């Protein structure tokens, strides 16, 4: 019984403490860099699209809100022909970012994306693609991968030996 | 059976198998690469290591390769042994040392055997810090991509391409860690079965190039079991769709028919489904010379309904050997059997029905492809298999290994021990006699070949039959060459245990077909269980023959006489069936030409009304293959707005006309209704419904999903069109659902939409679907063989042996030269095929060419069906004198061939 | 007739006042809960968020007035009206000042008890008419709870009646001129406070609507203004019970310097705040705890209070 009264008294005392509420939008809160907000597609340090259209983000997505179509340029570099995220379905879980092998898809600190029309929440590639590298500045998938693309021949990637000359008789 | 002990538990396995196969059959997850159920073992990859123990006391044991160890009685092994596990993990680690970091941009990713096996062994972290080996890739043509960096040197590709399929332009080069798989130089892979590299390669070295422009991961494809529409063999396929377009074809294992492999026409010929030339909306042509205008579905039905109702007796229905049984039957019901035409000329319909008659009369039963592989002596009469029935050619190559197997068995080498078997058999091949008008590379393993005009081929058949059974009629005035050849053939066939005679319609000769029957029957009469295999021109040719109907000429004359004036053409291009003149006349005389078809073609250019029909990927139906096996193909994806199955259009027409003659038709709501009506109406089809489970079939109350459980983009792909995710489209015709929800286990074999098992994402997951690896599928339903098997029957030989072929001075007999790429009407429209379709060519004997003063590459003018054509000439000594072979591509059809034509050299400017 | 007509201004005044107050209570409760939970509560609409009430009102009136197709329509509509009517009727006997009282009944206290019993019907009928298992369970719990707690609620007040010798609420207030009854009737006051909480279905006695287990109990199926009526009914109940505590135990309008109406409302306001504080501080009881507490603790206590008071009264003023 006393404990009850003590509890009531303690609650009453809270009337004299300062509220912890941050008065958004008058006051903007601090958001950590790893905040899971609006999703973007980044570019590699050379300014090319990072996304290679591997479909891993779409398969990781628990609400299936990512759809894309992969394609290839004439030199073998892959990129998404179109890339769509339906933010009216997105739950900002960040699984797509975790699944992405090229750091292309990243979640940002922007969460102010309310719309009056749900259709405006469907973001296409031109809405998603930014001009920078986002959170991971150095990485360029094609410098590591073994495929040949325009400007990078076989054997020119990191940790690659030059291509084998099949016609050589040397052991 | 043999008793083996795996991890201290006893199991019963087949002692003819190796341990790997036995373990996989028992359901163990034992990683492997180089072994393949159809290719056997070579022990190249060292991945399937297990610990073998001498006896119960032996605790030490020693590592053996499971694929190289027989499953002998009393074998005691451990899969879970720590040393074996470490060994397997190390093997993967070695392979991964040079494997590139490119799974995200690899087409194999997500269905990669190497990925599966890496996960299975537990290798997760790369310790090797040094540089990776790299290779340059080759351009292997329009079908196959090449990325050698990914290679793990399992040798499966070269074993398939060279040893199994007989290809010559592909090999393993180099040594030690420089081993390279490719061609001697860049260039198209010539072999007709190169597409199987895509499935056989355990990683992404060889992939489907036609998939790349619309690349989709396996988990995103909506797939359904289908049946190949591009020849008469009825190979089982899995067709996959994404975003409304067909993306690729994979092999669907069928123990009796195609086994593990497809031909390139079947695998890469799907592109016509996505063609720009598809008829996607109903169209009408207000004036005969004008353009078509799209028209609303209801409007066109309102317009056609009264037309059909007013004068039902004035409608002619023209069916098609490439349309399903159900669609043809619906048309037959709409117009009545007496006004239903097969859409084939008298000759072509006659050839098909002779074959049907022969197979029905017996006693030689029709052979499935599996039977062909088991045959130990083969006679091919008049067929160029590699072009008319490619998968059968691959089977015949395997049959040539049957007799050398006796040596192998005598030496005590197990048949799965591939390298040893080939070493023992060396270059020996079993008896294969090819008698055909012209040659192809496929004849390289033939015991003897004989190239002659069709009449002479038939005469050879008659003589062989006579040699086997003196009661059989022979041909008159047999020259000694044919006589001695016939003796040799008869001797070999007569001694064989499972002889096989293959023939077909390629020569357009009744006599050839009949002579083949005579040979098989003569063998049966003498007590050898011979089988017969006929190749037909199209996917449902035999089914149409069973259905029966009038010839195209009869239909033409009915319209010409004025007894009918409205024509309803079902999926048929009349210009491929008849000469252009009579086709023109027919279409001009008819007052209303209604065409139901999938693609624009010469006939649709003259139609008054076009109705968009579904391709094999947009409809369900049944096809009857060359052995009389009825197999169901399933709709892969919901068709665009107006496209629907042909039988549904015909049903709609019947409803719109208030058709009084066929009240039943209006009640056809599902495919099962049509199948039921068909099986009741025509006795030969009474077992048709057994070919596949009915629509009502459920697994634990659930439909079977066409989409994988990982299917993605569901809430996003339709978003620009419709924010509210649409409900999955209902499928009224089959137990399959256009959804990722439903039964996730293994359905009966005709309903398997994709191969997947936990831990097995690649096509190798098939192992988990077979009751025994390499054997039949679980809950197998192989389709219904509509031609009953029969016991002993009296043999009535055909007697009309033709006279010897006489070359003419003023003309050459132009024979059809079928092409694997280009002859088939539908696959030729696939964009990926374009590069592989040869230009029109006339093949001529060099001596004939010399008399005409032709040089190779020069052009000739020839007259066919009152039209003149100019084609380049190619010289080949295999072409019989007095004849010439014309490629059946682009505008050329076999409708008027063989035909006599003068050859006039065109003076090039 | 004339007498009724002359009282119409008072009736209108009381009605307007209590209904307005109950609406403001919505804002007050949210603000106070906010303070006690270290946040602000509604502070966006108007000064101090006061117009939140108006915004809420507009919203609730604009909402679709939906009656579920499976509900018993007539009863479903009547149920929320019952609670409003019974509570408002109770205000008729509350003496706000010596002069402001709608009906100065000599059985005023009994009338109050009668009306609060009737309000149980509202909840039971709402639960029944919704034709929904959660609603029905809420209704059943409400009926059990109100039946149990009404017993000792009435008994707890008998001490006051004995001390005053009258059921007239005006007389009761007058009787406290020297000493508020909260001193001699401390036990009665505590029992009445607890019973009052239970009667208004406030935390910790809100098990009829326990959202964690019953969605929203008896008003699960209600929306729009019908739901609003339950809501307003609850706040009216809080005001009523607070007012009754003031009248019965804290001397009603009595107090020095300030006018009587002000004293009355100051006291009532403090009890309203106490109600809200209890909501902020206490967890919900389990149903069996609730029944045990009512029957095995509160009822005996009320009887003891009654007996002791009776004895004391007898000793102090022996019957003539």
Contact A11 C40 (CB under 8 A): no
> Is the pLDDT confidence value at C233 over 90?
no
* Rounded-to-integer distance, Cα B455 and Cα B514, Å: 11
* Rounded-to-integer distance, Cα B731 and Cα B880, Å: 54
Q: Which residues of A touch B208 (CB under 8 A)?
A: none
Out of A78, A124, A154, whose CB is closest to B136? A154
Q: Which residues, in sequence order, are CB contacts of C283 under 8 Å at separation 6+? A: C203, C204
CA closest to A22 among chain C residues: C39
In a domain, residue B283? The reply is yes
Q: Per-residue pLDDT averaged across B117-125, rounded? A: 92
> Is the pLDDT confidence value at C173 over 90?
no
Strands B784-785 and B377-381: unpaired
User: Are residue B351 and residue B369 in the same domain, yes or no?
Assistant: no
Chains interfacing with B (3 or more CB pairs < 8 Å): A
Interface test with A, best of B150, B719, B722, B761 (most A CBs within 10 A): B719
How confident is the model at residue B309, as a pLDDT? 82
Please check whether residue B733 is in contact with residue B766, taking contact to mean a CB–CB distance below 8 angstroms. no
In a domain, residue A4? The reply is no
Q: Which residues of B touch A66 (CB under 8 A)?
A: 712-713, 716
Out of B178, B214, B219, whose CB is closest to A166? B178
Contact A65 B109 (CB under 8 A): no
* Rounded-to-integer distance, Cα B38 and Cα B21, Å: 11
C48 touches chain A (CB under 8 A): no
Select from B545, B546, B548, B549 the least CA-distant residue to B339.
B549
Q: Which residues of C touch A20 (CB under 8 A)?
A: 38-39
Q: What is the Cα gyration radius of chain B?
A: 28
Q: Which residues, in sequence order, are CB contacts of B894 under 8 Å at separation 6+? A: B508, B537, B816, B818, B888
How confident is the model at residue B909, as a pLDDT? 57
Q: Between B395 and C65, whose confidence is greater?
A: B395
Instruction: Write the pLDDT tens digit of every residue in B737-749.
Output: 999 999 988 999 9
Could you write out the three-class secondary structure of B121-177?
A: HCCCCCCCCCCECCCCCCCCCCCEEECHHHCCCCCHHHHHHHHHCCCCCCEEECCHH
How confident is the model at residue C121, as a pLDDT? 87
* Rounded-to-integer distance, Cα B81 and Cα B7, Å: 8
- What's the whole-number average pLDDT of chain B? 91
User: Are residue B369 and residue B491 in the same domain, yes or no?
Assistant: yes
* CATH number for B293: 3.40.50.740
The percentage of residues in chain B with a pLDDT greater than 90, rounded to a whole number, is 69
How confident is the model at residue B313, as a pLDDT? 81
Q: Compute the 3-state secondary structure of chain B and give helix, strand, coil in percent, each to the nearest 5.
A: 35, 20, 50
In a domain, residue B106? The reply is no
Q: Which residues of B touch A122 (CB under 8 A)?
A: 716, 719-720, 723
Contact A58 B713 (CB under 8 A): yes
User: Are residue B645 and residue B603 in the same domain, yes or no?
Assistant: yes
Residue B74 Rama label (left phi>0; alpha psi -120 to 50; beta) = left
pLDDT grade for B479, boundaries at 50, 70 and 90: confident
Instruction: Write the pLDDT tens digit of every residue in B539-548.
Output: 999 999 999 9
User: Are residue B388 and residue B494 in the same domain, yes or no?
Assistant: yes
How confident is the model at residue B640, as a pLDDT? 84
Contact A154 B214 (CB under 8 A): no
Q: Which residues of A touch B712 (CB under 8 A)?
A: 55, 58-59, 61, 64, 66-67
Q: Which residues, in sequence order, are CB contacts of B13 under 8 Å at separation 6+? A: B1, B2, B3, B4, B22, B25, B26, B71
* Rounded-to-integer distance, Cα A102 and Cα B101, Å: 11
Q: Which residues, in sequence order, are CB contacts of A42 under 8 Å at separation 6+? A: A50, A103, A104, A105, A106, A130, A132, A133, A134, A136
Q: Which residues of A touch B101 (CB under 8 A)?
A: 144-146
Chains interfacing with C (3 or more CB pairs < 8 Å): A
Out of C34, C36, C39, whose CB is closest to A11? C36
How confident is the model at residue B236, as a pLDDT? 95
Strands (E), A28-165: 39-41, 66-72, 78-86, 105-107, 122-123
Q: What's chain B's length in residues? A: 909
Out of A118, A164, A171, whose CB is closest to B133? A164
C vs A contact (3+ beta-carbon pairs below 8 A):
yes
Q: What's chain C's length in residues? A: 320
What stretch of H or E contains B621? strand B621-624
Contact A67 B717 (CB under 8 A): yes
Least confident stretch, B372-376, B856-860, C297-301? B856-860
Instruction: Please classify residue A168 by burial: count the beta carbons closer than 10 Å to its beta carbon, then call 0-12 exposed, 13-18 middle and 19+ buried.
Output: exposed
- Which domain range does residue C133 map to? 67-316
C35 touches chain A (CB under 8 A): yes
B132 touches chain A (CB under 8 A): yes
Sign of CA dihedral C101, C107, C112, C118: negative
* HSE, side-chain direction, 13 A CA sphere, residue C188: 27
In a domain, residue A135? The reply is yes
How many structural domains comprise chain B? 4
User: Are residue B324 and residue B443 in the same domain, yes or no?
Assistant: no
* Rounded-to-integer distance, Cα B550 and Cα B288, Å: 27
Select from C221, C237, C320 the least CA-distant residue to C29.
C237
In a domain, residue C88? The reply is yes
A70 phi/psi in degrees, rounded to 5? -80, 150
Q: Which residues, in sequence order, are CB contacts of B118 under 8 Å at separation 6+? A: B92, B96
Contact B101 A144 (CB under 8 A): yes
User: Are residue B501 and residue B405 in the same domain, yes or no?
Assistant: yes
16-75 in chain A: CB under 8 A from chain C: 17-21, 23
> Is the pLDDT confidence value at B872 over 60?
yes
How confident is the model at residue C319, as a pLDDT? 56
Contact B712 A64 (CB under 8 A): yes
ipTM: 0.89
Please check whether residue C89 is in contact with residue C15, taking contact to mean a CB–CB distance below 8 angstroms. no
In a domain, residue B738? The reply is no
The percentage of residues in chain C with a pLDDT greater than 70, rounded to a whole number, is 98
Please check whether residue B217 is in contact with residue A69, taking contact to mean a CB–CB distance below 8 angstroms. no
Least confident stretch, A97-101, B257-261, B667-671, C313-317? C313-317
B184 touches chain A (CB under 8 A): no
Contact A17 C40 (CB under 8 A): no
Instruction: Write the pLDDT tens digit of every residue in B694-746.
Output: 999 999 999 999 999 999 999 999 998 888 888 889 999 999 999 999 998 89
* CATH number for B821: 2.40.40.20
Instruction: Please classify residue B350 by burial: count the beta carbons closer than 10 Å to its beta carbon, then call 0-12 exposed, 13-18 middle and 19+ buried.
Output: middle
In a domain, residue B232? The reply is no
3-class DSSP state of C127: helix
Out of B105, B243, B715, whose CB is closest to A54? B105
* CATH number for B503: 3.40.228.10
Out of A85, A101, A163, whose CB is closest to B136? A163
User: Are residue B338 and residue B412 in the same domain, yes or no?
Assistant: no
Instruction: Please classify residue B808 by burial: count the beta carbons closer than 10 Å to its beta carbon, then call 0-12 exposed, 13-18 middle and 19+ buried.
Output: exposed
In a domain, residue C109? The reply is yes
The percentage of residues in chain A with a pLDDT greater than 70, rounded to a whole number, is 99
Q: Quickly list H helices, B240-315.
A: 264-268, 297-310
pLDDT grade for B198, boundaries at 50, 70 and 90: very high
* Rounded-to-integer distance, Cα B834 and Cα C142, Å: 80
Cα pseudo-dihedral B40, B44, B45, B50, rounded to 10: 70
User: Are residue B327 and residue B437 in the same domain, yes or no?
Assistant: no
* Rounded-to-integer distance, Cα B113 and Cα B119, Å: 10
3-class DSSP state of B424: helix
How many structural domains comprise chain A? 1
What stretch of H or E contains A148? none
Contact A14 C34 (CB under 8 A): no
Select from B807, B902, B889 the least CA-distant residue to B841.
B889
- Which domain range does residue B850 map to? 812-905
Could you write out the three-class secondary structure of B867-903?
A: EEEEEEEEECCCCCCCEEEEECCCCCCCCCCCEEECE
Q: Which residues of C touch A15 (CB under 8 A)?
A: 32, 35-36
Out of A4, A15, A21, whose CB is closest to C282? A4
Q: Which residues of A touch B717 (CB under 8 A)?
A: 67, 84
B vs C contact (3+ beta-carbon pairs below 8 A):
no
Local structure of residue B226 (DSSP, 8 states): E
Measured N-to-C along each axis, helices B297-310 and B646-656 cross at an angle, to the nearest 10 degrees, of 60
Please check whether residue C278 is in contact with residue C203, taking contact to mean a CB–CB distance below 8 angstroms. yes
How many structural domains comprise chain C? 1
User: Are residue B396 and residue B512 in the same domain, yes or no?
Assistant: yes
* Rounded-to-integer distance, Cα B455 and Cα B461, Å: 10
In a domain, residue A104? The reply is yes
Q: Which residues of A touch B215 (CB under 8 A)?
A: 53, 69-72
* Rounded-to-integer distance, Cα B333 and Cα A81, Å: 48
pLDDT grade for B848, boundaries at 50, 70 and 90: confident
B149 touches chain A (CB under 8 A): yes
C68 touches chain A (CB under 8 A): no
Instruction: Write the pLDDT tens digit of every residue in B215-269.
Output: 999 999 999 999 999 999 999 999 999 999 999 999 999 999 999 999 999 999 9
In a domain, residue B190? The reply is no
Q: Between B811 and B118, whose confidence is greater?
A: B118
Strand order in the sheet with B531-535: B448-451, B432-436, B377-381, B499-504, B531-535
Q: Which residues of A touch B134 (CB under 8 A)?
A: 146, 154-155, 160-164
In a domain, residue A112? The reply is yes
Strand order in the sheet with B609-612: B293-294, B283-284, B609-612, B592-597, B566-570, B315-318, B340-341
Please check whether residue B670 is in contact with residue B697, taking contact to mean a CB–CB distance below 8 angstroms. no
In a domain, residue C146? The reply is yes
Contact A19 C35 (CB under 8 A): yes
Q: Per-residue pLDDT averaged across C76-80, rounded? A: 89
Final residue in a domain of this structure, among B484, B501, B529: B529
In angstroms, the Cα distances linking B571 to B22, B271, B576, B588, B612 are: 48, 17, 12, 19, 10
User: Are residue B506 and residue B391 in the same domain, yes or no?
Assistant: yes
Q: Per-residue pLDDT averaged across A114-142, rounded? A: 92
CA closest to B717 among chain A residues: A67
pLDDT grade for C318, boundaries at 50, 70 and 90: low
Out of A55, A160, A163, whose CB is closest to B220? A55
* Rounded-to-integer distance, Cα B489 and Cα B519, Å: 10
Out of A11, A17, A18, whose CB is closest to C277? A11
Q: Per-residue pLDDT averaged across B39-44, rounded? A: 92
What is the CA angle C115-C116-C122, rounded to 5?
A: 95
- Which domain range does residue A68 map to? 36-144
* CATH number for A52: 3.30.70.3270
- CB contacts < 8 A, A to C, total 35
User: Are residue B548 and residue B688 in the same domain, yes or no?
Assistant: yes
In a domain, residue C113? The reply is yes
Q: Which residues, in sequence order, are CB contacts of B19 under 8 Å at separation 6+? A: B4, B50, B64, B66, B67, B69, B70, B71, B75, B77
- Is the bond preceding residue A25 a cis peptide, omega within 30 degrees? yes
Q: How far is A32 from chain B (nearest CA, A)?
A: 29
Contact C36 A8 (CB under 8 A): no
pLDDT grade for C97, boundaries at 50, 70 and 90: confident
Number of CB atoms found within 10 A of residue C27's CB: 21
How confident is the model at residue B791, as a pLDDT? 63
Q: How far is B168 from chain A (nearest CA, A)?
A: 19
Strands B315-318 and B566-570: parallel
> Is the pLDDT confidence value at C320 over 60?
no
Out of B100, B135, B220, whose CB is closest to A145? B100
B760 phi/psi in degrees, rounded to 5? -125, 90
> Is the pLDDT confidence value at B169 over 90?
yes
Interface test with A, best of B96, B98, B103, B104 (most A CBs within 10 A): B104
Chains interfacing with A (3 or more CB pairs < 8 Å): B, C
pLDDT grade for B682, boundaries at 50, 70 and 90: very high
What stretch of H or E contains C220? none
> Is the pLDDT confidence value at C2 over 80?
no
Q: Which residues of B touch A69 (CB under 8 A)?
A: 214-215, 243
CA closest to A103 among chain B residues: B104
Following DSSP, what letter does each residue of A102-132 receive, concatenated?
TS-EEE-S------SSGGGGEE-HHHHB-SS
> Is the pLDDT confidence value at B512 over 90?
yes
In a domain, residue A165? The reply is no
Contact C282 A10 (CB under 8 A): no
Q: Looking at mean pLDDT, say which of B363-367, B620-624, C18-22 comes out highest.
A: B620-624
């Amino acid at each position: 019984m006393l404990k009850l009264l003590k509890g009531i008294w303690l609650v009453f005392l809270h009337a004299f403490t300062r509220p912890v509420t941050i008065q958004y939008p008058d006051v903007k809160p601090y958001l950590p860099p790893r905040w899971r907000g609006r999703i973007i597609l980044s570019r590699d340090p050379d300014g090319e699209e990072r996304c290679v259209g591997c479909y891993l983000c779409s398969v990781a997505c628990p609400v299936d809100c990512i759809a894309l179509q992969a394609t290839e340029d004439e030199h073998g570099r892959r990129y998404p022909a179109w890339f769509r995220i339906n933010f009216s379905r997105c739950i900002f879980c960040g699984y797509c970012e975790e699944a992405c092998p090229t750091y292309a898809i990243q979640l940002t600190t922007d969460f102010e994306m309310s719309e009056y029309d749900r259709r405006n929440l469907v973001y296409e590639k031109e809405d998603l693609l930014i001009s920078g590298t986002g959170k991971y500045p150095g990485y360029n998938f094609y410098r590591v991968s073994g495929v040949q693309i325009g400007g990078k021949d076989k054997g020119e990637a990191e940790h690659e030996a030059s291509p084998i000359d099949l016609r050589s008789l040397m052991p | 059976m043999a008793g083996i002990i795996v991890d201290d538990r006893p199991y019963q396995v087949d002692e003819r198998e190796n341990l790997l196969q036995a373990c996989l059959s028992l359901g163990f997850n034992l990683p492997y690469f180089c072994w393949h159920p159809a290719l056997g073992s070579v022990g190249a990859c060292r991945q399937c290591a297990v610990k073998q123990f001498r006896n119960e006391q032996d605790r030490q044991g020693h590592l053996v390769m499971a694929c190289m160890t027989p499953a002998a009685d009393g074998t005691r092994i451990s899969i879970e042994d720590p040393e074996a596990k470490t060994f397997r993990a190390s093997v993967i680690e070695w392979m991964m040392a040079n494997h590139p970091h490119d799974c995200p941009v690899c087409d194999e990713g997500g269905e990669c055997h190497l990925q599966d096996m890496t996960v299975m062994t537990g290798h997760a972290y790369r310790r090797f810090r040094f540089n990776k080996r790299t290779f340059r890739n080759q351009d292997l043509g329009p079908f196959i991509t090449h990325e050698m960096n990914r290679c793990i040197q399992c040798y499966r590709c070269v074993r398939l391409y060279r040893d199994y399929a007989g290809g010559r332009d592909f090999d393993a080069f180099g040594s030690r860690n420089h081993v390279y798989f490719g061609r001697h130089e860049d260039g198209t892979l010539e072999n007709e079965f190169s597409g199987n590299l895509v499935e056989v390669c355990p990683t992404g070295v060889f992939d489907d190039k036609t998939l790349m422009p619309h690349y989709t991961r396996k988990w995103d494809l909506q797939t359904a079991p289908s049946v190949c529409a591009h020849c008469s063999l009825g190979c089982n396929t899995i067709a996959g769709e994404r975003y409304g377009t067909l993306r690729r074809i994979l092999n669907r294992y069928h123990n009796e028919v195609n086994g593990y492999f497809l031909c390139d026409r079947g695998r890469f010929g799907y592109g016509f489904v996505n063609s720009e030339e598809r008829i996607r909306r109903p169209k009408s042509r207000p004036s005969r010379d004008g353009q078509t205008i799209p028209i609303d579905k209801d409007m066109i039905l309102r317009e056609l309904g009264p037309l059909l109702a007013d004068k039902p007796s004035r409608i002619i229905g023209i069916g098609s050997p490439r349309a399903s049984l159900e669609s043809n039957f619906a048309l037959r019901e709409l117009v009545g059997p007496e006004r239903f035409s097969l859409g084939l000329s008298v000759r072509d319909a006659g050839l098909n029905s002779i074959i049907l008659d022969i197979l029905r009369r017996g006693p030689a039963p029709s052979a499935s492809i599996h039977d062909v592989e088991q045959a130990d002596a083969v006679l091919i009469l008049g067929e160029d298999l590699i072009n008319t029935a490619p998968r059968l050619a691959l089977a015949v190559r395997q049959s040539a290994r049957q007799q050398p197997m006796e040596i192998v068995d005598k030496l005590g080498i197990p048949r799965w021990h591939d390298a040893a078997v080939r070493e023992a058999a060396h270059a020996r091949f079993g008896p294969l006699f090819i008698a055909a008008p012209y040659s192809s590379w496929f004849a390289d393993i033939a015991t003897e070949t004989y190239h002659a005009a069709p009449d002479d081929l038939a005469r050879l058949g008659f003589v062989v039959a006579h040699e086997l059974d003196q009661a059989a009629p022979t041909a008159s005035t047999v020259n000694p060459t044919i006589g001695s050849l016939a003796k040799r053939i008869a001797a070999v066939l007569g001694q064989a245990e499972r002889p096989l005679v293959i023939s077909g319609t390629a020569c357009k000769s009744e006599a050839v077909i009949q002579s083949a029957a005579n040979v098989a029957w003569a063998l049966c009469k003498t007590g050898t269980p011979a089988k017969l295999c006929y190749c037909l021109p199209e996917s449902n040719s035999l089914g149409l023959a069973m259905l029966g109907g009038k010839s195209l000429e009869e239909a033409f004359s009915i319209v010409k006489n004025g007894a009918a004036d409205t024509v309803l053409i079902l999926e048929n291009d009349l210009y491929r069936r008849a000469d252009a003149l009579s086709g023109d006349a027919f279409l001009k005389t008819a007052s209303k030409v209604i065409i139901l078809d999938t693609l624009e073609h010469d006939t649709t250019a003259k139609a008054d009304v076009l109705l968009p029909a579904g391709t094999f990927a947009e409809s369900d139906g049944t096809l009857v293959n060359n052995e009389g096996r009825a197999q169901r193909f399933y709709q892969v994806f919901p068709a665009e707005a107006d496209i629907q199955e042909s039988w549904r259009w015909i049903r709609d027409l019947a409803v719109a006309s208030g058709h009084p003659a066929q009240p039943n038709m209006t009640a056809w709501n599902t495919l099962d209704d049509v199948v039921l009506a068909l099986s009741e109406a025509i006795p030969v089809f009474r077992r048709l419904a057994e070919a596949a489970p009915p629509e009502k079939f459920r697994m634990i109350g659930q439909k079977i999903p066409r989409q994988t459980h990982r299917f993605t983009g569901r809430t996003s792909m339709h978003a620009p069109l419709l924010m509210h995710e649409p409900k999955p489209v209902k499928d009224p015709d089959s137990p399959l659902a256009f959804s990722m929800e439903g039964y996730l286990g293994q359905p009966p074999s005709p309903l398997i939409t994709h191969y997947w098992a936990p831990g097995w994402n690649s096509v190798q997951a098939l192992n988990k679907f077979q009751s025994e690896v390499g054997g039949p599928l679980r809950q197998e339903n192989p389709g219904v063989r509509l031609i009953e098997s029969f016991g002993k029957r009296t043999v009535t030989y055909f007697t009309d042996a033709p006279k010897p072929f006489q070359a003419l001075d003023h003309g050459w007999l132009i024979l059809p030269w079928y092409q694997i790429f280009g002859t088939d009407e539908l696959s030729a429209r696939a964009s990926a095929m374009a590069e592989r379709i040869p230009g029109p060519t006339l093949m001529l004997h060099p001596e004939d060419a010399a008399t005409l003063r032709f040089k190779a590459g020069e052009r000739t003018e020839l007259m066919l069906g009152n039209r003149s054509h100019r084609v380049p000439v190619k010289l080949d000594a295999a072409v019989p004198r007095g004849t010439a072979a014309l490629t059946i591509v682009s505008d050329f059809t076999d409708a008027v061939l063989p035909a006599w034509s003068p050859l006039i050299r065109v003076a090039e400017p | 007739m004339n007498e009724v007509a002359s009282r119409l201004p008072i009736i209108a005044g009381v009605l307007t006042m209590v209904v307005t107050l109950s609406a403001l209570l919505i804002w007050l409760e949210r603000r106070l809960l906010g303070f006690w939970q270290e946040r602000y509560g509604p502070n966006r609409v108007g000064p101090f968020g006061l117009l939140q009430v108006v915004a809420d009102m507009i919203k609730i009136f604009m909402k679709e007035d939906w009656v579920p197709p499976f509900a018993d329509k007539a009863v479903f509509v009547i149920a929320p009206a019952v609670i409003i009517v019974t509570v408002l009727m109770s205000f008729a006997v509350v003496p706000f000042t010596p002069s402001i009282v709608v009906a100065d009944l000599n059985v005023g206290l009994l009338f109050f008890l009668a009306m609060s019993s009737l309000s149980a019907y509202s909840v039971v009928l709402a639960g029944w008419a919704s034709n929904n298992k959660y609603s029905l369970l809420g209704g059943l719990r409400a009926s059990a709870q109100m039946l149990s707690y009404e017993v000792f609620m009435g008994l707890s007040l008998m001490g006051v009646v004995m001390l005053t010798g009258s059921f007239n609420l005006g007389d009761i207030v007058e009787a406290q001129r020297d000493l508020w009854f909260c001193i001699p009737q401390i036990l009665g006051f505590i029992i009445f406070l607890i019973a009052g909480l239970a009667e208004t279905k406030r935390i910790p006695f809100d098990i009829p609507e326990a959202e964690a287990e019953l969605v929203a109990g008896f008003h699960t199926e209600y929306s729009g203004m019908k739901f609003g009526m339950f809501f307003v009914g609850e706040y009216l109940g809080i005001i009523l019970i607070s007012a009754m505590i003031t009248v019965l135990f804290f001397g009603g309008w009595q107090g020095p310097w300030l006018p009587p109406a002000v004293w009355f409302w100051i006291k009532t306001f403090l009890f309203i705040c106490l109600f809200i504080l209890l909501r902020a501080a206490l967890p919900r009881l389990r149903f069996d705890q609730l029944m045990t507490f009512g029957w095995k603790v509160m009822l005996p206590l009320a009887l003891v209070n009654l007996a002791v008071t009776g004895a004391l009264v007898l000793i102090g003023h022996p019957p003539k």
